[in-house]
Amino acid sequence: MEKRRPRSRHPVSGESVARLSISVSGEDKTALEMLATQKKVSLAWVIRDAVSGYLEREVPKILKKKQG
């Protein structure tokens, strides 16, 4: 059975988009490139996916603290 490509992490049409410039260690860049190659996606996709996952985990914690 062929693996499906992960869903697109491109911004949705109509969303505002911000371009960022980041610096990472050489080790992190190599690891990110390996993940991109393994998943058959772009390096940018891997980074957007990581940021989205981080925000999904962390933002609710911040919101909960503000309410509590």
Is 90 exceeded by the pLDDT of residue 7?
no
pLDDT tens, position by position, 21-62: 999 999 999 999 999 999 999 999 999 999 999 999 999 888
Give the list of residues 6+ apart from residue 36 with CB closer than 8 angstroms, or none. Answer: 42, 43, 45, 46
50 against 3, higher pLDDT: 50
Domain ranges (residues) in the chain: 27-67
> Quick check: helix, strand or coil at residue 64?
helix
- C-beta separation of 62 from 23 below 8 A: no
pLDDT score of 68: 72
